[in-house]
């Protein structure tokens, strides 16, 4: 009887320890100038707000994009309110572009979260 009791305890611990953890959110930021992708842009992210941080040095997080990709990826990323500013270069106009938008990653969101950030001269 004692063996059965310990077997049940061990099985319960095993089952409870095997619960699936929530998948972390991955943020994918797509800067676009008149609908065209901007490769290798840099994202400046401000946490817990829906407005710009002002000077680039005031942002909480800076993520440099890969020159071969049309997006900037940040992972893991928490749920909440954010403002993202993207700065890049558009070779079609030979000029720098920038732009920003507020966004919200909803509570309970898991997996990939994508946003498109319009940028301009």
Contact 113, 28 (CB under 8 A): yes
- Tell me the pLDDT tens digit for each residue of 38-49: 999 999 999 999
Residues 6+ apart with CB under 8 A from 4: none
**Structural domain boundaries, residue 45:** 22-118
Q: Would residue 9 count as lying in a domain?
A: no
**Residue 113 scores a pLDDT above 50:** yes
User: Whose structure tokens read 């061990």?
Assistant: 10
Q: Would residue 85 count as lying in a domain?
A: yes
Q: How far apart are CA 113 and CA 100, in angstroms?
A: 17
Domain with residue 57: its CATH number is: 2.60.40.10
Helices (H), 18-119: none
Q: Would residue 114 count as lying in a domain?
A: yes
Structural domain total, the chain: 1
Cis before 79 (ω within 30): no
Q: Would residue 7 count as lying in a domain?
A: no
Q: Would residue 72 count as lying in a domain?
A: yes
- Average pLDDT of 31-40? 97
Q: Would residue 17 count as lying in a domain?
A: no
pLDDT of 109: 87
Q: Would residue 13 count as lying in a domain?
A: no
**Residue 28 scores a pLDDT above 80:** yes
How would residue 2 be classed by pLDDT, with cut points 50, 70 and 90?
Answer: low
Q: Would residue 5 count as lying in a domain?
A: no
Sign of CA dihedral 44, 45, 46, 52: positive
Residue 59, number of CB atoms within 10 A of its CB: 19
Contact 84, 115 (CB under 8 A): yes
**Residue 17 scores a pLDDT above 60:** no
**Residue 8 scores a pLDDT above 50:** no
């Amino acid at each position: 009887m004692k063996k059965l009791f310990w077997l049940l305890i061990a099985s319960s611990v095993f089952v409870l320890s095997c619960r699936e953890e929530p998948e972390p959110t991955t943020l994918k930021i797509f800067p676009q100038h008149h609908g065209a992708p901007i490769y290798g842009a840099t994202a400046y992210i401000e946490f817990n707000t829906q407005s710009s941080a002002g000077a680039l040095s005031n942002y909480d997080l800076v993520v440099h994009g890969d020159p071969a990709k049309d997006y900037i990826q940040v992972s893991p990323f928490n749920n909440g309110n954010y403002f993202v500013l993207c700065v890049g270069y558009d070779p079609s106009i030979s000029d720098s572009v920038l732009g920003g938008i507020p966004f919200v990653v909803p509570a309970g969101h898991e997996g990939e979260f994508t946003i498109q950030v319009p940028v301009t001269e």
